Amino acid sequence: MDLNPVILSIPIYFLLIGIELLVQAFSRDPIYRLNDAVTNISCGITQQVSGAFLKVGLVAVYELTYQHLSLLQIEPSWWSYVLLFVLVDFCYYWAHRMSHEVSLFWGGHVVHHQSEDYNFSVALRQGSFQVIWTTAFYLPLAVLGFDTLSYIFISALVTVYQFWIHTEKIGKLGPLEWVLNTPSHHRVHHGRNPKYIDKNHAGVFIIWDRLFGTFQEEEERPTYGVTVPVNSWNPLWVNVQHYAGMWQQLRQCRSWADRWHTLINKPGWRPDYLGGYMAPPEVDQHSPKIQPRP
Amino acid sequence: MTSTARKFNPGLSRGLQYYILLHYLLTLGGSAAFLFNEGSLGLGLKALLGGLVLLAVLSLGLLMERPAWAFYLEGWRLLLTVAVLLQVLALPGLIWAAAAYVLISWGWLWWLRGSVGAAEGLATHS
């Protein structure tokens, strides 16, 4: 039996999705599309199934770091859990921010942003490769002396927290907006309007964005998705599409320096001879959102 | 430069939506059972059952994109899934129910074959 809080919370996730579906039924306000929601959940399943194999190696990396490089041995207690929660969230901010600002890492995280809707099912849409790039950001916690089990438990809680912020049905939450990551803040994070891109990377505490200059208040309603739409319901293809594009660019690069920049620069970076940086385009809010008959 | 706010939303017939929804609910049940118990499975069995879960989400996702061959992939997936589960779970008593499930699903797919590979319908909303 798996005691991971992320897995144990599955019934709660589906209960909340059910509540949103009820809201949709009574308000006739479109929240869910079958194809989009199915793909979101399929990406979550794909991530959990691949994670069943990957996690052994990644946990081993943390445990080995803890065993051999830890400076302290912090005994689990209520204060150590509170401290660890804040530190995990701090590490999450940087892992998440770098997942947006480094193209190689973005390939693992882009999956979470591909949905063009915004509802609870989007929270489940996670990339299968993301954990490969983000694990290193948490290793300082092992060096500090937080044991592996405590780390796994607390990081799962930080993950579970982020489920409820994926909704358009909760507005602004008054003073909580100053401290916590809320649905309003996270809607901004999922917007592809240029002013919203690469903003609000927080997991639980929005203070990290306020401190490090990446905070953006929700103003107009965001248009969700990514600037290069994936246009697919295939849960395996959506995980590799960015890397396929990156591979093509790597083959077209004329120098190793450009190949290196392709990997570590912002998504959209290209050498001048391939067209230069692709800036996020403004979104035409007046364009029709309903696709015409194909 | 501007981009459109339009969403990707190739139309699906009502029948195909019901087919996908029913089989997706079954997939969710199977996936949950796998995830709750994968820690106690051997590596080979874990890979086999994990592979079946991935095949299911892939096949149902492709049905929504409607390439003609997705129809055949789904047919083979049903057969493979039932055969493996009967073998792994060692439930020979369920063989007739399993056979009925596959045949009904195949029949349903055959009835829907016009929906797969053909473009039809409007996106329902923005």
Verify whether the Cβ–Cβ distance B28 to A41 is below 8 Å: yes
Length of chain B: 126
Mean pLDDT throughout A182-202?
97
The answer to whether B30 faces chain A, any CB pair under 8 Å, is no
- Whether residue B8 lies within 8 A of chain A, CB to CB, comes out as yes
Q: How far is B98 from chain A (nearest CA, A)?
A: 24
Choose, out of B6, B41, B63, B120, the residue to mutate when testing the contact with A (most A CBs < 10 Å). B6
CB contact under 8 A, A52 and B35: yes
Report the distance separating Cα A47 and Cα A130, nearest Å.
9
B125–A39 CB contact, under 8 Å: no
Tell whether B14 is within 8 A of chain A (Cβ): no
Whole-angstrom CA distances from A37 to A50, A120, B54 are: 20, 9, 17
Considering chain B, what is the average pLDDT of its residues? Answer: 85
**Residue of B3, B54, B122 lying closest to A290 (CB–CB):** B122
d(CA A130, CA A99): 8
A123-146 confidence digits (pLDDT tens):
999 999 999 999 999 999 999 999
Q: Give CA–CA dist A79/B125, Å, rounded.
A: 49
Q: Check CB contact under 8 Å for B123 and A290.
A: yes
Long-range contacts of B69-78 (CB under 8 A, 24+ apart): B70/B116, B70/B117, B71/B109, B71/B112, B71/B113, B71/B116, B71/B117, B74/B109, B75/B106, B75/B109, B78/B102, B78/B105, B78/B106
ipTM surpassing 0.90: no
Asked whether B74 and B125 are in contact (CB, 8 A), the reply is no
Answer yes or no: do A42 and B46 touch at CB < 8 A: no
> Residue B38's closest chain A neighbor by CA?
A52
Residue with tokens 């308000």: A27
- pLDDT (tens digit per residue) in B29-81: 999 999 988 888 899 999 999 999 999 999 999 999 888 889 899 999 999 99
Contact A69, A142 (CB under 8 A): yes
Q: Which residues contact A131 (CB under 8 A, 6 or more apart)?
A: A51, A54, A55, A58, A108
Best of B1, B7, B65 to substitute, by most chain A Cβ atoms within 10 angstroms, is B7
Residue B119, judged by CB atoms within 10 A of its CB (0-12, 13-18, 19+), counts as: exposed
> Is residue A128 a contact partner of residue A48, using CB atoms and an 8 Å limit?
no
What pLDDT sits at residue B117? Answer: 55
Contact B21 A45 (CB under 8 A): no
- Quote the pLDDT of residue B99: 87
pLDDT over 80 at A157, yes or no: yes
Cα–Cα distance list, B40 to A4, A155, B36, B59 (Å): 14, 23, 9, 27
Cβ-based neighbours of B3, under 8 Å, separated by 6 or more: A192, A227, A281, A282, A283, A284
Residues of chain A contacting residue B37, judged by C-beta atoms under 8 Å apart: 1-2
Lookup: tokens for B68: 């003609």
- Give the chain A residue nearest B124 (alpha carbons): A290
- Residues B20, A281: C-beta atoms closer than 8 Å: no
pLDDT in tens, A212-259: 999 999 999 999 999 999 999 999 999 999 999 999 999 999 999 999
CA dist B50 and B64 (Å) reads 22
Q: Which of A38, A50, A52 sits opposite B24 (nearest CB)?
A: A38
The minimum CA-CA distance between B34 and chain A, rounded to whole Å, is 8
Comparing CB atoms, the residue among A35, A49, A116 nearest residue B53 is: A49
Say yes or no for a CB contact (<8 Å) between A291 and B7: yes
Asked if pLDDT for residue A291 goes beyond 60, the answer is no
DSSP string, B28-90: HHHHHHHHHHGGGS-HHHHHHHHHHHHHHHHHHHHHHH--HHHHHHHHHHHHHHHHHHHHHHT
CB contact under 8 A, B37 and A2: yes
- Please say whether the dihedral angle defined by the alpha carbons of residues A183, A112, A225 and B63, taken in this order, is positive or negative: negative
Q: Give burial (CB, 10 Å; 0-12/13-18/19+) of B103.
A: exposed
Cβ <8 Å between A33 and B36: no
- Are the Cβ atoms of B3 and A42 closer than 8 angstroms? no
Compare CB distances from B9 to A10, A281, A291 and report the shortest one's residue.
Answer: A291
State the Cα–Cα distance between residues A98 and A109, nearest whole angstrom.
Answer: 10
Q: Report pLDDT for B88.
A: 84
Percent of the residues in chain A that have a pLDDT greater than 90, as a whole number: 86
What six digits make up the tokens of A254? 């004329």
In which band, very low, low, confident or very high, does the pLDDT at B116 lie, cut at 50, 70 and 90?
low
Q: Are A2 and B35 inside 8 Å of each other by CB?
A: yes
